[in-house]
Amino acid sequence: MIKALIFDLDGTLIDSEEQYVTAWQQAVKRHQFDLTHQDLLGICGISAKEEIDYLFKRLKSMDKVHLAIESSKEIFLTMAQEGAVKLKPGIKELIDYCREKGIATALATSTYQPLARKYTDHINGFSDHDFDVMIFGDMAAYGKPDPEIFNLAQQALNIAKEDCLILEDSHYGIMAANRAEIRVAWIKDMVDLTKYDEISIDLSFDDAHQVKEWLIEHE
């Protein structure tokens, strides 16, 4: 029986990945950077440090890297403030079910807390009170795909790993869950993860509604 759900933020808890890629596309167009759509998909789910390394390999200039990141953040924040970023379908119902059944909940994201707060503050229905534990990227020495963020969440919950389930949408997030040796469910989003043979997916769902249905079946 599952005693705790550990939620990723971007693309899992909130419907941000499409808007995030759109913000990057606008930043790339604004500054005429040589980045493809596939390059931009590769940014999803990685830590801030890895994002810098990833972009430097493609842009070959740290000035361009910082300009690209700051520009995309500015555009994305504007989108969030305008209400374009929302909770993913079924999330509120899933969290309410967890509260009803005594299933603990944690948020575990590579996004640094100050940045995450800038847009979660504008998301209708998002509340800190929905989580027993919240772990942000600046609380860990390493971001995903390192397992540290998930390990910190599990330890703070004080629930055995075998009783936890991580909900993730990204390649690096699932890799981090695998390295933490915690079961992981893929919540399908923009990127098809079936092509990655170096990760192991325990469960897959189209949305959080299906996660709730699975939990009900396995009470």
Q: What are the pLDDT digits (tens) for 104-127?
A: 999 999 888 998 998 899 898 999
pLDDT band at 17 (very low <50, low <70, confident <90, very high): confident
**Top-tier CATH class for 4-15+86-217:** alpha beta
Percentage of the chain beyond pLDDT 90 is 52
Cα atoms in the 13 Å half-sphere on the side-chain side of 180: 31
Which pairs count as long-range contacts for 25-32, CB under 8 Å and 24+ apart, including other chains?
Answer: 26/72, 26/75, 27/68, 27/71, 27/72, 27/75, 28/68, 30/71, 31/64, 31/67, 31/68, 31/71
* Neighbour count for residue 66 (Cβ, 10 Å): 14
pLDDT digits (tens, 9 = 90+) for 166-215: 999 988 899 999 999 999 999 998 778 888 889 999 999 999 999 999 99
CA-nearest of 51, 4, 1 to 180 is 4
pLDDT score for 190: 75
What is the chain's mean pLDDT, rounded? Answer: 90
Determine how β-strand 133-135 pairs with β-strand 164-168: unpaired
- pTM here is 0.84
For residue 28, which of 17, 19, 36 has the smallest C-alpha distance? 36
78 has pLDDT over 80? yes
Domain extent listing, the chain: 4-15+86-217, 17-81
Instruction: Kindly list the distances between the CA atom of residue 46 and the CA atoms of 32, 50, 90, 98, in Å, as whole numbers in the listed order.
Output: 23, 6, 24, 28
Interval 64-75: pLDDT, tens:
888 888 888 888
Calculate the CA 73 to chain-centre distance.
16
Rounded Cα gap, residues 98 and 219, in angstroms: 11
